[in-house]
A and B are shown apart, each in its own frame.
Chain A
Amino acid sequence: MLKYALRRILVVFPTLVAASLIIFALIRFAPGDPVDIMYGPAGMGHSTATISQEARDKVRGQLGLLEPPPIQYAIWLGRVVRLDLGTTFKTRRPVVDELAERLPTTAKLAFLSFGILLVTAIPLGVVSAVNQGKAADHGVRFVALVFSAMPSFWLGLLLLYLLGVQWDVIDISGGSELKHLILPAAVMALGIVPTISRLLRASLISELGQLYIVFARAQGLSDGVVLWRHAVRVAVLPIMALLGLYLGGALGGSVIVESIFSIPGVGKWVLDSILGRDFPVVQAYMLLAVVIIATANLVVDLSYAVLDPRIRFGGRQVA
């Protein structure tokens, strides 16, 4: 088990290095110049104050953009490992500080939506599997279809209008308090509830047809024990990878949901930075996203090992 965990952790590092290279290259290939965006394109008789070419180069020098790209990458990477993600082009504040202000809100939102996902998708999946082909199954399927067909910005706006404006039951003023986050978290979760519950349904139906279920019943175990402690325990294994990826994605911030609900999280911040070609922020964010996804995958792998002894012992017969 320890060996397995170590191996999994070691694999993460090359992933991160490769990702950092790709991130660095990617943003430099993206069209648009940060100085142009900050001060308006050169040589355009724009009403806003445009500045001279010399001034532009001076700003570029200050931002470190005149060095050759490999040097820029080395400098950046050296700082990154010291957790110095540079200063933003826009506010000239350390990226880490700005991130630290926003990450907790996004994390709260992510875990809240993950919780909502679990308490809705798992019971729905179980209910439809147990009532396969009956009214409850069709009902769940219909609702799932409706929600999965509805884009989250539309669902978000709809709920915002109905619950916030029409009936006024939920605070929609925007903020990072729990009361502000419940509705956006639900909107995020609802997007994937259908997928997870359908997958669980299929997996559970297959497990319920296995011989060990017949055997457990033949020993007189109650329906509840057979369902939850035997079948569901095995049926959740295939959907764990998806759950982990979802949590990883949610921790990276949801641009749409955060924008609609005016939540001061990472997603909205990054969107603004991308539009402003704020390289340090975008780089830092992408790096953060890679770290989160890699960690989420690691957590998934390790929890597989905890929950599935066949993986823990490498499937080897030892007896």
Chain B
Amino acid sequence: MVMETLATSGSNLVRLTNFSVGYPTSNGVVPALRDISLDICEGESLALVGESGSGKSTLARALIGLVEAPGRATGGEIELASLGRSTSADRRTGVAGKIMTMVLQEPRDSLNPVLSIGSQMGMVLARRGVPRRERRSAASELLRSVRLEDASRVLRSYPFQLSGGMCQRVAIAMALAGQAKLLIADEPTTALDVRVQASILRLLSELQREHGFALLLVSHDFGVVAEVSQTVAVMYAGRLVEYGPTTEVLGNPRHPYTAALLNARPTLGAGLPIRPIGQAPDAGKVHDQCAYIPRCQHADALCSESPHPLPDGSLSHSAACYHPIEFVGERSVDAAAARQSPEIPKLPLKPAKLLEVRDLNKRFRVGGALGKQSVQALTDVSLDVSPGEIVGIAGETGCGKSTLAKCVLGLEYPDSGSIRIDGVDLTKLGKSEVRKLRRRVQAVFQDARASMNPNRKIIDVVQEPLRNFGIGDRHERAERAREMLSRVGLSDDLFERSPGQLSSGQCQRAALARALVLNPRLLICDEPFSSLDLSAQAQLMHLLSDLQAEYGFGLLLISHDLAVLTSLGSRIVVMLGGRILEVLPAGQTEHRIVHPYTGALLQSIPGFSGNERRVGRPHSAAKKIELSGCPFVSDCDLAIDLCGEVMPAMSTTAAGHEMACHRSADLPDLQLVSTAHL
């Protein structure tokens, strides 16, 4: 089916021939892109996939003429059907905005923070030659076309007053202004919540049908790619290594790298992803041989002697590999079998509770001294963690999951309720006693690099907790830190480096070492994977799982990604609007009868489809109406009057499965299935 659409797709729009980009340094030009050949046709939907550093964003920016200084085109050609030949990667006048346009990863940062949406759109429309008087109505029209109701209010607003999803819609509206033939979307949904992501992806597909532009999607998420794109180009170390129709590339990958990347993706209903080997090299450090050799099981002399010719980015499925993976039929079945099923820690029947949170309430005042507004961040939250157990907290931005973590760490004080750690109530302790308790409760945060002093060496960062609690002498501390760093898989030569010199994955490992060096009873990880690449994420998931089995700490794992949580075999607590809506037992990999909100989250995961795709309007984090009822009521298809008035109590529906829903008896069977080729 996809092949047919390809065959009938429009004439050539952009053609790259052996296109290369490099960054001049004092040691010569460091290549960032090498010999890229690629065709983009009118109306086509192409995805660029790869890990960070693979060059996919550089390629996107080079196309539109916005290579970051001092990078420049070092060879090859970009041919634009409407302009003729052009080799310059510098700004090509008349290309940006008119022939092609771009939206970026961080929607809020893509807009000027101090100008109103109206004035920013006005500038773009002025550039398109819209007379001053007509700009306002033209802007409203564009906002309506990206399904933003109440255009006049949006035009008056500033970016910080809009949600991330709304900012991305505004950005897309601005991109539509020039009626460009190619829209480049650089990780357009990566920074967004899963339900918002689903709505933006749907919007992009709909707009593409309506306006007929070609869409170049840059993404690291195969689910997103499977949902949106007809064709996929896989990049590795600045080169194109595989190209072909999406169903072919994802269903039957030929390059070992593509296969490894697909296997590293955490999948709902499957165990831990297959453990990847090594990490992606810098495009600049790779020489004229296959860059995947150090991580490849099939590499031989041929691979290092002369590189396999690269795919030329025309229609057929091709890979830059002498030993392509042969067609094995249902790869997905194969890979699923190869995945380790998650090990559910066997807990004693009535385990001693490590962490007991009871009826936690927390209200934040927002605004200045005179802005009397407050937000209920946590309402009656109760939660247990046993030693050796993984409890995952899932939910969207603003659901209260990070506030809960801060309360447990003693960094925020709850208004009411109790937090017992090993039976000791944290809320009744003084400052110095809470400090002592921190020896037993440690944390790893989302941005590990930002959580370390950039001027210290890694080894000192890891030693710091020991010094804080006066454990051991100088020699013993250093010894213990080294041991821990080796245990998390960092090699000796990294110990003396500063956090800035490490990759994101390595930083996250160091942060894990710092947290575990005190041998805590409870480890809290707040979105530890979300800044990582697929393979780094898979490696860290394995590491976390191994370390937990070894040390037996309780793990409170906060993640927006349900697939990650199920892969790790955790009990899952689903939160919305500061309340717990559902608790799913560990090891239940097929969640079929779930809370309607959990159902909406599951169905929003790209690459999956339920029996009926109901995403609902994404709950806006800022839209904090004081509700006496269920926080999901406004988006719920099953809501009855009672739901808006009374918050349902938690009730047990099956062993270990609790939910708070008035309609728990009438919930549909979700029948969630992975989209065939994933």
Measured in the bound complex, the distance between the Cα atoms of B486 and A151 in whole Å is 58
Contact A211 B177 (CB under 8 A): no
Which chain B residue lies CB-closest to A230? B112
- Residues of A with C-beta under 8 A to B96: 217-220
Which chain A residue lies CB-closest to B371? A314
Measured in the bound complex, the distance between the Cα atoms of B112 and A215 in whole Å is 9
Interface check B548, CB cutoff 8 A = no
Interface check A309, CB cutoff 8 A = yes
Measured in the bound complex, the distance between the Cα atoms of B68 and A210 in whole Å is 11
Contact B112 A218 (CB under 8 A): no
Which chain B residue lies CB-closest to A209? B68
Interface check B678, CB cutoff 8 A = no
Binds B, one of A174-182, A183-191, A221-229: A221-229
- Please report which residues of chain B, range 610-657, place their CB below 8 angstroms from some CB of chain A when the two chains form the complex: 620-623
Measured in the bound complex, the distance between the Cα atoms of B163 and A222 in whole Å is 28
Interface check B98, CB cutoff 8 A = yes
Which chain A residue lies CB-closest to B106? A211
Contact A319 B111 (CB under 8 A): no
Interface check A149, CB cutoff 8 A = no
Closest chain B CB from A192 CB (angstroms): 25
Which of A214, A220, A313, A314 is packed against the most chain B CB atoms within 10 Å? A220
Interface check B524, CB cutoff 8 A = no
Which of B64, B66, B110, B367 is packed against the most chain A CB atoms within 10 Å? B110
Closest chain B CB from A69 CB (angstroms): 36
Contact of A214 among B104, B113, B175 (CB under 8 A): B104
Query: Per-position contact with B for A208-246: 1 when CB-CB < 8 Å, else 0?
Result: 001110111111111001000110011001000000000
- Residues of A with C-beta under 8 A to B114: 233-234, 237, 307-310
- Please report which residues of chain B, range 72-101, place their CB below 8 angstroms from some CB of chain A when the two chains form the complex: 91, 94-98, 101
Q: Interface size class for chain A? A: 20 to 34
Which of A233, A237, A309 is packed against the most chain B CB atoms within 10 Å? A309
B contact face: mostly helix, strand, loop, or mixed: loop
Interface check A30, CB cutoff 8 A = no
Contact B101 A217 (CB under 8 A): no
Contact B161 A318 (CB under 8 A): yes
Interface check A46, CB cutoff 8 A = no
Contact B97 A220 (CB under 8 A): yes
Contact B160 A221 (CB under 8 A): no
Interface check A7, CB cutoff 8 A = yes
Measured in the bound complex, the distance between the Cα atoms of B175 and A221 in whole Å is 12
Measured in the bound complex, the distance between the Cα atoms of B367 and A234 in whole Å is 23
Contact A315 B160 (CB under 8 A): yes
- Please report which residues of chain B, range 96-130, place their CB below 8 angstroms from some CB of chain A when the two chains form the complex: 96-98, 101-106, 109-116, 123-124, 127
A positions within 8 Å CB-CB of B: 3-4, 7, 210-212, 214-222, 225, 229-230, 233-234, 237, 307-310, 313-319
14 residue pairs A–B, Cβ–Cβ below 8 Å: A7-B368, A7-B370, A214-B104, A215-B111, A217-B66, A218-B64, A225-B127, A309-B114, A309-B160, A314-B367, A314-B368, A317-B621, A318-B161, A319-B161
Given A7-B368, A215-B104, A316-B373, 9 additional A-B pairs, CB 8 A: A215-B103, A218-B104, A218-B184, A219-B96, A220-B98, A221-B124, A225-B123, A314-B371, A315-B160
